[in-house]
Amino acid sequence: MRPLSAPTIRLCSLLSLPSLILAAASFDCSDIVKDRIRFNLKPLGGPHVVHWIETEELITHNHTYTIDICQPLKRTKGVPADEECPNGARVCGIDYVTGKNDNTSRIEHVVPIAGDFIHSTAGWDPKWQLLKNSGSHADADREGLLIEFNGGKFPFNDKKGVPQKAMIEMVCDKDRSGLEGDEEDDRPKEDGDEKEKRDDEGEEKGEEGEKKNKSLTFVSYKQEGDPAVGVLRLEWKTKYACEDAVNNPDLNPKDGWGFFTWFLIILFLCISAYLIFGSWLNYNRYGARGWDLLPHGDTIRDIPYLVKDWGRRVVSTIQGPGSRGGYSAV
Ligand SMILES: *[C@@H]1O[C@H](CO)[C@@H](O)[C@H](O)[C@H]1NC(C)=O
Ligand SMILES: *[C@@H]1O[C@H](CO)[C@@H](O)[C@H](O)[C@H]1NC(C)=O
Ligand SMILES: *[C@@H]1O[C@H](CO)[C@@H](O)[C@H](O)[C@H]1NC(C)=O
């Protein structure tokens, strides 16, 4: 079964106003709108990993950040709960430490950076703006989107923990899918469904991807502002952050449910509704039964005869009067 396509979802949300209101408050990676510009970052969904290697005198930190812009991170099978971020995390940092003369690493910190954590009062409060409007001079002539995810805290269970957030700069680069050099977190996840293979993944990560540098890169992680907030900054170069991407058919392959399919479905629904309502009316008002229940029952009953008649006429037209019944003109 195909996932619901965008038109379906839009149709459904039109039908149910409450969900429309909810949708306004949430973050849909496949339909991010800012200043009337629409972005679809769905192809970049899934857990992606970047590293920040920090070398100290005696130890090396391998800070491993995992991010999924489309849905909460899933738990990995067989990994203890305290070695991963709490449920609801969208961005998670894990600090692996290796001693100088050591070849095994241990986890020093787990830093929930952003997400809609169940056991937290802080919402994840996703925000997004166009890079050119973000107020920084460096971004003034860059095309793309700045996404902010909040809700983290470190230490997580400490009232005085430092709030955390992630700032992801999605930068337009027409030559990149965004998956070049990608490191995916493809360990088996707890909820069973093995990682969904994206069908475009192979080609995009393929040979050409190997030659280029990674598209998703670590920029910085430090405490910023006062009161201090731990801010993880990432940069993601991708064609999906280009302002015309959604309207560009090359980047946005049509899904199978064309206009015509929708037209047929809606037509069918309308006819069904008409027949059902009509029957009900006939039943209640006129006490109709059987064929008489159907609105225009007579016409419908006659359809086979009409079709047969029409068919006969067509046949005789095709055969022409000349060949009929052996009376050939001599
Ligand atoms: C950091 O950890 C990742 C996976 O845990 C590993 O692939 C990578 O090589 C490590 N980097 C360094 C410099 O240790
Ligand atoms: C790493 O440690 C294992 C045992 O824990 C040892 O067998 C192996 O030789 C070590 N490798 C290196 C490169 O030190
Ligand atoms: C990749 O990055 C390295 C250094 O980080 C740089 O020297 C090189 O030119 C980059 N390659 C491409 C194709 O951008």
Ligand 1 mean position, distance from CA 181 (Å): 14
pTM score, whole prediction: 0.67
Question: Residues near ligand 1 with C-beta < 6 Å?
Answer: 51, 53, 62, 64
Query: Average of pLDDT values for 34-60?
Result: 93
Shared domain for 223 and 99, answered yes or no, is yes
Please indicate, yes or no, if residue 204 is contained in any of the structural domains: yes
Provide the percentage of residues in the chain whose pLDDT is more than 70. 80
The pLDDT value given to residue 322: 53
Assess whether 121 and 168 both reside in one domain. Answer: yes
Number of domains in the chain: 2
- Count Cβ atoms within 10 A of the Cβ of residue 129 and give its class: 0-12 exposed, 13-18 middle, 19 or more buried: middle
Under 8 Å between Cβ of 138 and 191: no
Task: Let me know if residue 2 belongs to a domain.
Answer: no
Examine the domain organization and report whether 177 and 290 are in the same domain: no
Q: 234 with 277, same domain?
A: no
Measured distance CA(107)–CA(98) in Å, rounded:
9
Averaged pLDDT, 86-100: 93
- Cβ pair 246, 29 in contact under 8 A: no
- pLDDT for 104 equals 87
Task: Supply the DSSP symbol for 177.
Answer: -
- Can you tell me which atom of ligand 1 is nearest the CA of 51? 1
Alpha-carbon Rg of the chain, whole angstroms? 30
Looking at the structure, tell me whether residues 286 and 153 fall in a common domain: no
Same domain, 231 and 279: no
In a domain, 246, yes or no: no
pLDDT in tens, 108-162: 999 999 999 877 777 889 999 999 887 777 777 789 999 999 999 999 988 889 9
What's residue 254's pLDDT? 53
Residue range 223-269, pLDDT digits in tens: 998 899 999 999 999 999 998 877 765 555 555 567 788 889 999 99
In a domain, 324, yes or no: no
Atom 2 (ligand 3) nearest CA: 213
Predicted local confidence at residue 245, as pLDDT: 76
Both 224 and 268 in a single domain? no
Domain that holds residue 218: 11-241
In this structure, is residue 5 part of a structural domain?
no
* Strand stretches in 225-298, DSSP E: 229-238
